[in-house]
Amino acid sequence: MQIIEQKAYKASLRLFSFLGAGADRYRAGVFDGRGETGLLAVEDTDVEEARIKVIEGVLSDEALIFALHLSCAAFLYPQVKKALKELRGQGPDLMLALEVCGELERWSYPALREGYEVLCRYVAVADSRQNILYRELAADGRLIAYLTGDDELPGELSGMARLWFLNPAERERYYGFENTAAFVREEYMAAKNCPDFYALQLAGKEGIGRKSAVAMAAEDTDRPTLVIFWDRLTASDKKKSGHSLWLLRREAYFYGCAVIFDRVTKQEKPETEGFFFRAVSHFKNHSEPVVICTDPRTELIPGSDFPIRRIEVPSPDNASRIAAWKGISERYGMELDAEGFGGLCELPYGDINRVLLSLSSLWDNSWSEEKKAAYVINACMDCYPAPKKGSLKHVDVSVTIDDLKLGDRQKKPILELIDGVRNSHIVYDVWGMREKVPYGRNFTALFVGPPGTGKTMAANVLSTALRIPLYRIDLSQIVDKYIGETEKRLEEIFTYAENTNVILFFDEADAIFGKRTEVNEAKDKYANTEVSFILQRIEEYNGIVILTSNMKNNIDTAFMRRMKYVVYFEIPDVDTRCEILQNCFAPGVPREDIDFRFLAEKVELSGGYLKNIVLNAMFLAAARNSPVTMEDMAKSVVSEYEKIGQVASFLDLGKYSYLVH
C-alpha cells in the first residue's frame, strides 16, 4: 500500500481528536499512483471504540468518518485530490465511503438522505445532481480552518461567543484569586467525574472570576474555553439562534473544551426560558461540564428539565482585593497605594485588571499621590454603571479638611470616620471580625445643625479624603404617594450603591427618616412601614451613608443606634467666622480695606450665610468694575439679614453704619 505523504496523516490528528476516534486507525491512501486498486480507508477499525461524538446520524461511524476524512484530505492535499480524480473522475462522495466501509446495502434511500443531511453540516456540496450518493463533497470552511490551526469562530457567531485560550501568563493575572479558583475547581471536577449530567450555576457578580476559575479548572492550556454570551445569542431571530446554537455545539466538540453560558438572567417569557433549557441540553453528552454564569438573583432550578447545582460565588473581600491591587500593579510596574485602593474601591478582579491595564501605558511613578489617586478613581468610576437619572446625582467635590472651618471637637468624629473606613480591612479581615459582625459593618454618620453650618461641606470633605464618589439622593424623586413606590426606589438606590461603592448622601433627611407615630389613620401605617424598611436596609448595607438634618429631634430614635457617628454643627465663634470670611476670597479677587475682624464680631451667622455675603459683595464690586470694599460687604450684610427675615435696623455696624444709609 502506498500511503500519501505522512503529513496528510499528521494533519488528520486534529480531525480525529475532534471525532473521538484513534487517529492511528484511519488513513487515506491509494494502492498505487495509477489508481487501479481503488482506495483503502480503514485499518483495524473497532466501531465501538471509535464512536463518533458529534454526528448523530443514521449512517455508520466508519462511513461518516471516512467521508469527512476524504473531503478534508482532498481540500488540504493536492495529492489526494489528484488520486480521486484518476480513480473516479471527481472528488470524494458518499458512495465511495459506503463502498469502502461495506455499508451500501444496509441502508434505504430515506436513511441515506437523513445521514447525508447530517454529514452536510460538516461538508459542502460541490454540485447539484439529484442522486445524493454521487454528489461531490468538499470540507466545510470552518472545519478546514480548524484543521489548519485557525481558532477564529465563524462569522455567524460574531459577538455571540468567544474562544478563550487561558495561557500560563494569564493564569497569574488574578492575584488574591486563589480561594475562588480552588472553590470553583472542586465543584467543576465533581461535575466532570459524575456519571450523570448536571449543569453548574455559578451565581455572583460580574467580574469576580467565575469564568477564569472554570478555565483554570479545565487544566489544559492547549484547549480554550467556549464562552457563549446568552444575551447576544437570543437577540437574533429564533431560527438563526437555533442554527447558531448548532454551530456552537460543533465548536465545543472540535476542542473538547469547557462550555460556559454567560450573562444569563431570569427569562420573563416562558418560551425564552424553554429555549434556554433546550440550548443547555444540547451539550448533555459533551465531555466537559456545562457552566452557567448568572447574577446572584437569577433562579434557574425551578422549571428546569435537567439537574442544576447552584453555587454562590462570593465577591472578593478586602484582603483579596488588596492582594489583587498589589499583584497586578507590580506586574505592570506601577507604584500605588494598594491597601488604600483595595479597601476603598470595591471592584472585582476583572475590573481591577482593566483599570490598571488602561493606566499602565501613561503611568508615571513620579506623580504625586493625589495625582495617582485622581487617575485611579476616574478609571474606577468608568467601571461603574450609571445610576438611573433623577434618583441619584453625582456631586463634584474638591474641598479638603482644611477648608472645613470647624472646632476640634466637631472635626474629631469626622476624622475618626475617615480613619475607620481606611482601616476597616484590618479589623474585619486581618483581625477576623467579619464573622463576628455579619451585618451592620457600614459607616453611618448624622450631621445635625442649623442651616449653613457646614454639614454638606463635611460630606464633600469625606468624599475627597476617602477618594470615594459622593452621590446625593434627590428626595423629590424618591418619596411617592403610592404605597410601596418609595421603598422600591430606595431599594434601587441601595442596590446601585452596593455594586459601585459610593457614598450615599441624604440631605435634609427628615423627609424619610422621620419619627414613627401611633397608627391613627391608614396613612400612618404605611409611613411607619417606610421608616422600618429604611432601618432594615441601612443595617444590611455595608457602605457609607451620610444623613443631614436641621433638628436631631425630627429623626426617629431607632436611627440613632445605627449611626456610628453623630456630629453637631453649631454657629461658628468669632475667630472661625473671621477665618471663613477671609477663606471665601480667592487669590485673584481684588479687595480694599475690608475689616474682617469687625464683621466677624458683628455678624453672628453661620458659614453658609457668610459665603453668600462675600459673593453678593463681589457682584456689587464687579458691576462697578472695581475692587471689593467694606461698603460692598456692609450692604451685603444688611441684604442677607433682610433675606432671612431678621430686622436689619437693629444690626449694629458701629463705625461702618454710614455705609448703608
> Residue 128 CB: number of other CB atoms within 10 A?
6
DSSP-assigned beta bridge partners for residue 26: 42
Q: Residue type for 126, please?
A: A
Do 314 and 348 form a contact (C-beta atoms < 8 A)?
no
Give the ranges where 141-269 is alpha helix by DSSP (H). Answer: 141-147, 168-171, 178-193, 210-217, 230-233, 238-255
Residue 33's pLDDT is what? 34
Write out pLDDT tens, residues 49-84.
333 333 344 455 566 666 776 777 676 666 667 766
Q: What are the residues whose beta carbons fall under 8 Å from the beta carbon of 231, sequence distance 6 or more?
A: 263, 265
**19-28, 313-322, 411-420: which has the highest mean pLDDT?**
411-420
Angle between helix axes 349-360 and 369-383 (nearest 10 degrees) is 130
How confident is the prediction for the chain on average, in pLDDT? 75
Confidence grade of residue 390 (pLDDT, cut at 50, 70, 90): low
| CA-closest candidate to residue 600, choices 617, 576, 584, 636 | 576
Give residue 468's pLDDT: 81
Mean of pLDDT values over 577-600: 87
The predicted structure's pLDDT at residue 495: 79
Query: Does the fold of domain 401-568 match that of domain 155-312?
Result: yes
**What residues does 566 pair with on adjacent strands?**
446
Rounded to 5°, angle at Cα 278 from 312 and 150: 85
- Which amino acid, residue 607? G
CATH 3.40.50.300 fits 401-568, yes or no: yes
597 has pLDDT over 60: yes
Q: Which residue has the cell 444575551?
A: 231
All three cell numbers of 330: 507590580
- Amino acid identity of residue 636, one-letter, is S
Q: Following DSSP, what letter does each residue of 392-405 receive, concatenated?
A: EEEE-----GGGS-
Alpha-carbon Rg for the chain in angstroms: 36
SS3 428: helix
Residue with cell 461518516: 64
Three cell numbers, residue 245: 446554537
E strands in 66-220 = 123-125, 137-139, 161-164, 199-203
Q: Which range, of 77-81, 277-281, 496-500, averages the lowest pLDDT? A: 77-81
What per-residue confidence (pLDDT) applies to 299?
87
Widest pairwise Cα distance in the chain? 126
Give the integer Cα–Cα distance in Å for 330 and 494. Answer: 34
- Within a 10 A sphere around the Cβ of 616, how many other Cβ atoms? 18
Pick the CATH number of 155-312 from 3.90.550.10, 3.40.50.300, 3.20.20.70, 3.40.190.10: 3.40.50.300
DSSP SS3 for 305: coil
pLDDT digits (tens, 9 = 90+) for 167-186: 665 555 557 677 788 888 89
Report the chain's terminal Cα–Cα distance, integer Å: 121
Angle 276-277-281 from CA coordinates, rounded to 5°: 120
For residue 230, give the DSSP letter. Answer: H
Phi and psi, residue 641, nearest 5°: -65, -40
Check: CB of residue 191 under 8 Å from CB of residue 331.
no
Domain 574-660 CATH assignment equals 1.10.8.60: yes
pLDDT (0 to 100) of residue 644: 77
Cβ contacts of 559 within 8 Å, gap of 6 or more: 446, 513, 535, 538, 547
- For the chain, the domains span 2-147, 155-312, 318-383, 401-568, 574-660
Task: Return d(Cα 162, Cα 181) in angstroms, integer.
Answer: 21
**186: burial class by Cβ within 10 Å (0-12, 13-18, 19+)?**
exposed
pLDDT band at 525 (very low <50, low <70, confident <90, very high): low
State the residue for C-alpha cell 445521514: 115
